[in-house]
Structure 1
């Protein structure tokens, strides 16, 4: 337990300092490769025409995809971690710290959304649209500058839960094995969890599982973000964050996506969401927040500061609880 606590804290600090260097291989890319290869293998031989038989087959294949990816991800992570600890506890701690670092994505989120802010500030909307297309799933080619800024802010807000707080909570609870299992679910949802012709049935199991594993973390993330808004000075409104979260947190097709998005909109005093285009098709969405002022590119940085303060609050709480439990059980 002592090594887990030290590795958990060290992994968070590594993410804060280094983020995700492009020149280094990353396990999440490996999970993405596994998902793509498994999908290709499972789908081979499906009937081409739409039919009830094909729908049923795709649902079975989607469930099998989830099972295979989770089994291989969990086994591979557990074997590496157990092997490292078997060699020497401090080696295991270092490996666990690196794994924890790779599970978290706060710094990466700041860097990628910061590129959008930089291009908007420089008056280069085309480059900003290209940059935001790398971190959102919607069509970006026709977005206005305000639309680009909103897309980046929404991604930062939503991924405060998906990319930072949720994996942190699962890693604190079950170490890198549970952390990487969560990331595998999240990656499957981002790759196959679409409601289009290709993935409506095949991706259903991954999308539903993602909703389940994010249900509590999304709400914990929202509450921690509200606390961060109260502690973050005049640029943020904690009371308004609470009000908008209470009013708008269910205004999304997903039960989880609007949780932190509504808090961020309320804290900044802006309106987010609304209709968006995906694969050339406009999807109707309700607005989140009140348009007290126009969204500006500087709001991207404000959203990132709110995300990072939320991450620090969660990290300190997790370390405190882990230490308290360990001390109470005589594990320290």
Structure 2
């Protein structure tokens, strides 16, 4: 048992370092892209019209449950088999494979890089380029956004994806290894692809959306606490007391029970107001604001958000390693 914990700690730490160093090169095959391709193919089959007629709402909900079960079964089965075979052949090979899998589950550097592309375009006063860059990381319509709107969209994405792309997968990875980490990523990917409350996905994506809310409930709140702690460590540009105050007040100002948790903490730490109405697929969606407008949003806030992103990720990694080390020495 102690050997297993030691191997897991090594793979967990190596995966975190690899993510910070390498990010997500486009040329490198990635399991999340494979999961996305699987979801797209299953969706085409499961939503195919029967004898030319649309499926009923009950049939769509059933098809959505089949999608979830199929994707999770294949993801969990394949990842477990890969890891088991690697450790069976040799522990060193097992650690290497676990490190690579752990690395590909995390998205710290990728999130920073993509948001900093938006920052670079805004700094160059290239609004069309900034709109295009932010369109790659948000689901809303970006063609009509002004500079402030683009900056806000990037900041909100960093805040929300701190939990979805970094802290939540890290927690599942630390607790149960790459298999559960990849299962989490599968749930998250399904929600991002079919979890919309529009005509096409309202019923089909219901199972994926509810499951995503469930698996993110605790990690989202841990992420917010880590962000508030990071604001304390980050220096004079951040206000941890206001972050805590805004978090307590605005953490449920979102249709999702989880998304506003980190958005509220970040808005408070920076002293800005984010969220509000946004356009999706040509329709305006009414949303409450999050935070107080102590000052106007500026594109430098993207850099500040990324500072909190990295500090929160490092704090989480250290805490997870300390807990695993405690278990390891307890078993002496």
Distance in 2 (CA, whole Å) between partners of 1:181 and 1:243 is: 34
Give 1:137's aligned residue: 139
Give 1:4's aligned residue: 8
Spell out, residue by residue over 1:256-306, the C-alpha distance to the aligned partner (whole angstroms, 9 max, x if none): 000000000000000000000000000000000001111000000100010
Give 1:26's aligned residue: 30
4+ residue segments displaced more than 4 Å:
47-50
Distance in 2 (CA, whole Å) between partners of 1:47 and 1:259 is: 45
**Alpha-carbon distance change, 86 to 285 in structure 1, aligned in 2, over 3 angstroms:** same
The gaps in structure 1 that reach 5 residues or longer are none
Give 2:213's aligned residue: 211
1:36 matches 2:40: yes
Q: What is the correspondence of 1:238-253 to structure 2 with a 5 Å cutoff? A: 238-253=240-255
Distance in 2 (CA, whole Å) between partners of 1:47 and 1:211 is: 34
Distance in 2 (CA, whole Å) between partners of 1:296 and 1:307 is: 18
1:180 matches 2:185: no
Secondary structure, counterpart of 2:284 in structure 1: strand
Q: In structure 1, which of residues 102, 109, 112 is the aligned counterpart of residue 111 of structure 2?
A: 109
Distance in 2 (CA, whole Å) between partners of 1:44 and 1:154 is: 35
Q: What is the correspondence of 1:115-194 to structure 2 with a 5 Å cutoff? A: 115-194=117-196
Q: In structure 1, which of residues 312, 320, 323 is the aligned counterpart of residue 325 of structure 2?
A: 323
Spell out, residue by residue over 1:89-124, the C-alpha distance to the aligned partner (whole angstroms, 9 max, x if none): 010001000000000000000000000000000010
Distance in 2 (CA, whole Å) between partners of 1:317 and 1:232 is: 18
Distance in 2 (CA, whole Å) between partners of 1:41 and 1:84 is: 34
Contact 1:47 1:54 in 2 (8 A): no
Secondary structure, counterpart of 1:252 in structure 2: coil
Q: In structure 2, which of residues 299, 310, 313 is the aligned counterpart of residue 311 of structure 1?
A: 313
Task: Please give the root-mean-square deviation of Cα atoms over the aligned residues, in Å.
Answer: 0.9
1:57 matches 2:59: yes
Q: Across the two proteins, how many residue pairs are aligned to each other?
A: 328
Q: TM-score w.r.t. structure 1 length?
A: 0.97
Distance in 2 (CA, whole Å) between partners of 1:241 and 1:201 is: 36
Give 1:237's aligned residue: 239
Give 1:89's aligned residue: 91
The gaps in structure 2 that reach 5 residues or longer are none
Q: CA deviation at 1:326?
A: 1.7
Q: TM-score w.r.t. structure 2 length?
A: 0.97
**Alpha-carbon distance change, 82 to 122 in structure 1, aligned in 2, over 3 angstroms:** same
Secondary structure, counterpart of 2:279 in structure 1: strand
